[in-house]
Copies of this chain bind each other. A is one copy, B any other.
């Protein structure tokens, strides 16, 4: 199934954007009267009929609507973006495939990447949402300073991944079903001890993701997988 994405749908005649119009008409060769499937990124699937098969501005009208089943838990990943941007793009793609509700990017003392444009990441997320037949686009936040992020976290179960061989508690043993969970993953050089202390003082719990030394983006994906399995 090929999904199109239109975040703002109105009653009556809607249009696909230029890229999706081109794809529908030139690539998939859809004609007037043909059905197309859409998502709005806010949790709804639509079936629509093409009213005008214009490859620059394809017009369509919605025929039926279906709600995506809701999960009760909330899966929130906060992570320092990697030096190599490809690895962060990959993480966004895979996290959306597995299922995530919000991704926040944090700037840490040891971050090698200090600037992040989220535009390409949102595109990756849209593409992964459509490919994995989901109707909800996760919220993707602009990067903010770690302490600012930590201070902004309100009521939720909050975890910080930090390798501590004296006291390893695995994330899988901390998650509870249907809860709002935030998991925080550090940069390539890990968190500074002062950052860890600040997180712990702010109600974060220190957890492990297992015995293997994982790259930042792999740790992020392992955390998202655990949030899907256990929360």
Residue A42 interfacial (CB < 8 Å): no
Q: Mark A153-177, 1 if CB is under 8 A from B, else 0.
A: 0000000000000000000100000
Known: A90-B90, A221-B221, A225-B222. A97 touches B133 (CB 8 A): no
Q: Is A206 an interface residue (CB 8 A)?
A: no
Chain A contact residues: helix, strand, loop or mixed: helix
Q: Within the complex, what minimum Cβ distance (angstroms) separates A43 from chain B?
A: 15
Q: Determine whether the beta carbon of A132 is less than 8 Å from that of B213.
A: yes
CA A95 to CA B7, docked complex, whole Å: 36
Q: B210 to A229, Cβ gap below 8 A?
A: yes
Q: B221 contacts A97, CB within 8 Å?
A: no
**Which one of B97, B211, B213, B214 lies within 8 Å of A214 (CB-CB)?**
B97
Are B90 and A214 in contact, CB atoms less than 8 angstroms apart? no
Which 9 A-B residue pairs are closest in the complex by CB-CB distance? A132-B213, A97-B218, A133-B213, A99-B212, A225-B225, A94-B218, A97-B214, A98-B212, A132-B212
